[in-house]
A = this chain, B = another copy of it.
Amino acid sequence: MKIAIVGYGNLGRGVEAALSAAPDMQAVGIFTRRDPASVQSVMGLPVYSMNDLDSMADDIDVVINCGGSATDLPTSTPALAEKFHVVDSFDTHAKILTHRAKVDAAARKSGKVAVISVGWDPGMFSLTRLYAGSVLPDGKSYTFWGTGVSQGHSDAIRRIEGVADARQYTVPIEAAMEKVKSGEMPTFAAADMHERVCYVAIKEGADAAEIEQKIVTMPDYFAPYKTTVHFVSLEELHREHGGLPHGGTVIHAGKAATGSAHTIEYKLNLESNPDFTGSILVAFARAAYRMGQKGETGCKTAFDIPPILLSPEKPEELYAHLL
């Protein structure tokens, strides 16, 4: 399978690494909207302009779209689905139905397969919620994120005047997780489940107290949560908080009709969020290709895909050794 990487930020680099480890896949190259000469591939892949993508269609089986969910994927994935099997990690939960409808229309028209919203949430966490809810419908799924870096919250801090750089960790509240694991099925406000810990480097002359106040009172992002702000030097910020770890836990607590109680827990501990998400995109690119080979078309999510299509191993091997 010949795979094209569209977009080359953290996620694109994660996809590039995952492709290098896939025995059955070959990375055709990186396609960028920037000047290709300004983009250096970590693994030495050729870098092309997005304008060259269509003319190379014969050399590409699947495009992995590594754009961002806010402004890029809503238009770029439907556009790519007009010509290619495509996979994205669209993660704006509230807009998934709209995205799905647009992508589905494009992919059905072109006869291609477009897999959307595959990462770990949406993605692996969604699968856990679906399987658990199907098996224990009299139950409730709780999703805890972290401890990990939230890019959106970090960016929100960076936009405050006087801030040189910042990193925000989303931290799940242990006591809330324990309550769910005990089978209690509590009702939580957002602030009962997570707290926010910020590391902020300020510019010379900026007022730390004022910046802290602006952070902790920021609506939606911080105001509802217990928020702790640590001021550190830029050097310390980059040294101690330069990684992008993340993860989280889905816990489904439910009861059988006899009254017996059960909990299902799925936990991710990720040293690098983009590396892991990139690995997921690559596995689903394999599935997209295989579904395309079988003549399927349209938009698919993780829910619609037989899991065996994700694996590079032969089915007989999987039945014999993983089942």
Interface residues of A (CB under 8 A from B): 13-14, 17-18, 20-22, 93, 96-97, 100, 117, 122, 124, 126-131, 133-138, 141, 181, 256-258, 260-272, 275-276, 278-280, 283, 286, 301-308, 310-313, 315-316, 318-320, 322-323
Whether A267 pairs with B265 at a CB distance below 8 angstroms is yes
CB distance from A257 to the nearest CB of B (A): 4
Instruction: Name the residue of chain B whose CB is nearest to the CB of A266.
Output: B266
Task: Give Cα distance in the complex from A270 to B181, angstroms.
Answer: 11
Please name 29 pairs of A and B residues whose Cβ atoms are closer than 8 Å in the assembled complex, sorted by A: A17-B257, A18-B257, A21-B138, A21-B257, A22-B137, A93-B323, A124-B135, A124-B264, A126-B322, A127-B131, A129-B322, A133-B311, A134-B311, A134-B312, A135-B276, A181-B269, A258-B272, A260-B270, A260-B271, A260-B272, A260-B275, A262-B272, A263-B268, A265-B266, A265-B267, A267-B267, A301-B323, A303-B315, A303-B323
Known: A256-B272, A271-B261. A136 touches B279 (CB 8 A): yes
CB distance from A143 to the nearest CB of B (A): 10
**Which residues of chain B are within 8 angstroms of A313 by Cβ–Cβ distance?**
133
CB distance from A116 to the nearest CB of B (A): 9
Instruction: Name the residue of chain B whose CB is nearest to the CB of A279.
Output: B135
**Which residues of chain B are within 8 angstroms of A14 by Cβ–Cβ distance?**
256, 258
**Which residues of chain B are within 8 angstroms of A305 by Cβ–Cβ distance?**
306
Whether B269 pairs with A262 at a CB distance below 8 angstroms is yes
Instruction: Name the residue of chain B whose CB is nearest to the CB of A269.
Output: B263
Whether B307 pairs with A319 at a CB distance below 8 angstroms is no
Whether A135 pairs with B308 at a CB distance below 8 angstroms is no
Whether B100 pairs with A319 at a CB distance below 8 angstroms is yes
Task: Give Cα distance in the complex from A302 to B269, angstroms.
Answer: 25
